[in-house]
């Protein structure tokens, strides 16, 4: 992760990059419009959200039993369940399975949990070819870039930039239309995935009562790659489990609405284990990943964030995200839910800068389909960082120096030239080049007061 000050400066630069602002606001605006159109299908959306909230909280409270039941039923269906304490465990398990299959390539889906364990980097270091099957991700992979948004990974790229990446790697006309690019990528994915024996995906939900893995998508790439692979490996955070198949009736439409404004995602499937009809994977493994989720569950208040169904809606409405973009967070999970989760899962000391990436406007709370009080949780994280003294050392030093200056009457009443110099020295590096530093009045407040009143 980059240094917090560097991330802060990067965020400032992005906030003043008009082209970036237009691209992000146009795309997130499309998400918001789709949501506004889609929500008219609900007579009482708030009631449905309340149901989802209750259901997800119930799931978290009974997590241990639900996970054990899921394992029992999934194994009964012929699948295998592996338990990973952390990312290293999960990667070792995946690599062992790849070696067992003597594979030199895998296909993968768009999944935040696969990014969390840094799957691509790990496999590439082991000389295993990674084929991204989602269109946006395929292009990013070619351009050696990371995802910018959980639902639309290449949201920050214009049509021309997408085209430039593709023409840099493939024989594609530089002035291709969007349709031509999409068709080309689909064709390339099909060619590159041919005969790849292993497909790795995340999971939207795990069904405890029937031992099922729920996967939703809009491009059909997951269905395609899982049906042609011999082995399907699912990596799922332990909080993904829900009690019953019936619960999907509440959660799936809410997920689809809050992701893309749809009544239902174009392709939703449930994998119960290996194929029984001869078509589909012969082996299905589910890796249940903890990676400090248990630690997060031990926080009485912040555990609510584990109800997240990863719809991405809070990211799309967040004014901070719209201004600073996806990379300035310096974390795998971004936007309001990332701001709450990351410091608790990956360490407050390293990620306390995320506590500042929120304007407490409450837009994320209003839109969240499972009613997570994200703003309260961010305040709680700030409180935790302060009481545990886990703020950023450089920020703390800066604030102490500022306080020291402000407490000195001599300095406050001193010549403007020195005040400007000090301001530039202390605040300048954080302020960025795109906006002028605040101007000082010719005389301090105290001087003006004395002149007028004494
Ligand atoms: S916190 Fe809520 S709005 Fe944000 S991704 Fe999770 S479920 Fe969606």
Q: What is the pLDDT of residues 254-289, one digit of tens each?
A: 999 999 999 999 999 999 999 988 789 999 999 999
In a domain, 109, yes or no: yes
Q: Is the CB of 367 under 6 A from ligand 1?
A: yes
* Block residue for tokens 């082995």: 231
3-state SS, residue 213:
strand
Contacts for 144 with CB less than 8 Å, ≥ 6 apart? none
Residues 239 and 275 in one domain: yes
Domain count, the chain: 3
Q: Is the CB of 308 under 6 A from ligand 1?
A: yes
In a domain, 397, yes or no: no
User: What proportion of the chain, given as a percentage, has pLDDT over 90?
Assistant: 75
In a domain, 145, yes or no: yes
In a domain, 37, yes or no: no
In a domain, 253, yes or no: yes
Residues 212 and 307 in one domain: no
Residues 119 and 67 in one domain: yes
Domain of 260: which CATH number? 3.40.50.10420
Rounded distance between C-alpha atoms, residue 235 and residue 286, angstroms: 6
Question: What's the CA-to-centroid distance between 55 and ligand 1, angstroms?
Answer: 15
Residues 423 and 376 in one domain: no
Closest ligand 1 atom to the C-alpha of 315? 4
Residues 191 and 260 in one domain: yes
Tens digit of each residue's pLDDT (9 = 90 or more) over 371-418: 999 999 999 999 998 887 666 676 677 778 888 888 888 888 888 888
The protein residue whose alpha carbon is closest to atom 4 in ligand 1 is: 314
Question: What's the CA-to-centroid distance between 309 and ligand 1, angstroms?
Answer: 6
| Residue in 132, 106, 105, 94 with CA at minimum distance from that of residue 221 | 132
Question: What's the CA-to-centroid distance between 57 and ligand 1, angstroms?
Answer: 14
Rounded distance between C-alpha atoms, residue 313 and residue 369, angstroms: 9
Domain boundary among 291, 318, 353: 291
Residues 186 and 332 in one domain: no
In a domain, 353, yes or no: yes
Q: Is the CB of 325 under 6 A from ligand 1?
A: no
Residues 231 and 314 in one domain: no
What mean pLDDT is predicted for residues 67-77? 98
Tens digit of each residue's pLDDT (9 = 90 or more) over 300-354: 899 999 999 999 999 999 999 999 999 999 999 999 999 999 999 999 888 988 9
Half-sphere exposure of 399 (CA within 13 A, CB side): 6
Backbone angles phi, psi at 241, to 5 degrees: -80, 140
Tens digit of each residue's pLDDT (9 = 90 or more) over 194-232: 999 999 999 999 999 999 999 999 999 999 999 999 999
Residues 366 and 447 in one domain: no
The protein residue whose alpha carbon is closest to atom 3 in ligand 1 is: 368
Q: Give the predicted TM-score (pTM) of the model.
A: 0.89
413-to-142, 427, 439 alpha-carbon distances in Å: 57, 19, 15
Residues 73 and 176 in one domain: yes
Question: What's the CA-to-centroid distance between 142 and ligand 1, angstroms?
Answer: 29
Mutate to test the pocket of ligand 1, among 259, 311, 321, 378 (most ligand atoms within 8 A of CB): 311
Residues 372 and 265 in one domain: no
Sheet of 267-271, strand order: 241-242, 205-207, 212-217, 267-271
What mean pLDDT is predicted for residues 178-198? 95
Structural domain including 417 reads: 406-453
């Amino acid at each position: 992760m980059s240094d917090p000050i560097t991330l802060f400066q990067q965020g400032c630069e992005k906030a003043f990059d008009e082209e970036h602002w237009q691209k992000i606001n146009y795309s997130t605006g499309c998400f918001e419009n789709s949501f506004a159109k889609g929500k008219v299908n609900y007579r009482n959306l708030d009631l449905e959200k309340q149901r989802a909230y209750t259901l997800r909280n119930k799931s978290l409270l009974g997590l241990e039993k639900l996970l054990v039941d899921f394992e029992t039923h999934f194994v009964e269906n012929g699948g295998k369940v592996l338990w990973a304490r952390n990312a290293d465990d999960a990667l070792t398990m995946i690599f062992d399975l790849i070696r067992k299959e003597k594979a030199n390539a895998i296909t993968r889906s768009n999944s935040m949990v696969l990014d969390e364990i840094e799957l691509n980097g790990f496999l590439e270091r082991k000389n295993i070819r990674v084929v991204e099957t989602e269109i946006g991700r395929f292009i990013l992979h070619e351009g050696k870039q990371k995802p910018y948004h959980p639902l639309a990974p290449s949201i920050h790229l214009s049509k021309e930039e997408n085209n430039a990446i593709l023409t840099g790697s493939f024989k594609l006309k530089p002035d291709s239309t969007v349709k031509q690019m999409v068709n080309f990528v689909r064709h390339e994915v099909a060619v590159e995935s041919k005969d790849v024996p292993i497909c790795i995906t995340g999971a939207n939900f795990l069904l405890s009562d029937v031992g099922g893995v729920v996967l939703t998508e809009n491009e059909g790439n997951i269905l395609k790659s899982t049906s042609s692979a011999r082995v399907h490996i699912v990596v799922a955070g332990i909080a993904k489990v829900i009690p019953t198949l019936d619960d999907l009736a509440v959660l799936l439409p809410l997920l689809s609405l809050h992701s893309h404004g749809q009544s239902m995602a174009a392709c939703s499937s449930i994998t119960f284990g290996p194929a029984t009809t001869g078509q589909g994977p012969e082996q299905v493994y589910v890796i249940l990943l903890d990676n400090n989720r248990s630690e997060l569950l031990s926080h009485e208040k912040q555990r609510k964030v584990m109800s997240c169904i990863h719809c991405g809606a809070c990211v799309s409405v967040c004014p901070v995200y719209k201004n600073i973009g996806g990379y300035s967070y310096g974390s795998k999970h971004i936007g309001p839910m990332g701001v709450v989760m990351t410091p608790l899962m990956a360490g407050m000391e390293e990620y306390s800068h995320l506590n500042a990436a929120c304007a407490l406007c409450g837009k994320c709370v209003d839109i969240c389909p499972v009613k997570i009080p994200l703003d309260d949780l961010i305040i709680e994280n700030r409180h935790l960082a302060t009481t545990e003294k886990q703020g950023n050392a450089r920020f703390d030093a800066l604030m102490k120096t500022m306080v020291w200056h402000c407490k000195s009457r001599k300095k406050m009443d001193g010549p403007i030239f020195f005040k400007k110099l000090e301001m530039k020295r202390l605040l300048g590096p954080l302020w960025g080049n795109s906006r002028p530093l605040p101007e000082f009045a010719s005389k301090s407040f105290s001087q003006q007061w004395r002149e007028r009143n004494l």
